[in-house]
A = this chain, B = another copy of it.
Amino acid sequence: MAWKAIPQPTMDTLLDKVQFNEQGLICAIAQDENATVLMLAWMNRESLTETLTTGRVCYYSRSRKKLWRKGESSGQEQHLISASLDCDADCLLLTVRQKGVACHTGRRSCFYQSLTPSGIQNLTEPDIRPETLYGEKTPS
């Protein structure tokens, strides 16, 4: 189902409730329709507004210091199904339709390094080779 854009007056009220941190950011957990947690990333006011308007998930890249339209270079886009804030309004939970894989390693989920008594064990193997995802480099 297509995302219903949040209209401007509602958006302003809603954004005023969001507790962005000192850097102007809020963390966002993305899960898919089956409730598999895919990744955690950050949003600023601009990327959250864009996400809630277009339904196409846009984060803020802290390393590149710019908007990060998920999938812009890899094609592995996220389309918003629903979004909710936690009790303190300082974390978002997004339910998304994930095209392909969420992780830059080519895995569906970023959370693949299991902590076990014998050390870190990879839970999954890549579904897609990272080289295929990015041609040469620049993960998205």
Contact = CB atoms under 8 A, between A and B. Distances in A.
Interface residues of A, number: 44
Interface string A1-20: 00011110010011001000
A136 interface: no
A104 interface: yes
Contacts of A29: 29, 37, 40
A104 B87 CA distance: 8
Nearest to A122: B84
Interface in A68-103: 82-89, 91, 93, 103
Contacts of A86: 39-40, 103, 110-113
Given A4-B117, A85-B113, A86-B112, 14 more contacts: A6-B115, A13-B119, A27-B40, A29-B37, A37-B93, A40-B86, A83-B114, A83-B115, A84-B112, A85-B111, A86-B113, A87-B110, A89-B113, A91-B110
24 contacts: A4-B117, A6-B115, A6-B117, A13-B119, A27-B27, A31-B37, A35-B35, A35-B36, A35-B37, A39-B86, A40-B91, A83-B115, A84-B111, A84-B114, A85-B120, A86-B103, A86-B110, A86-B111, A86-B113, A87-B104, A87-B107, A87-B112, A87-B113, A93-B111
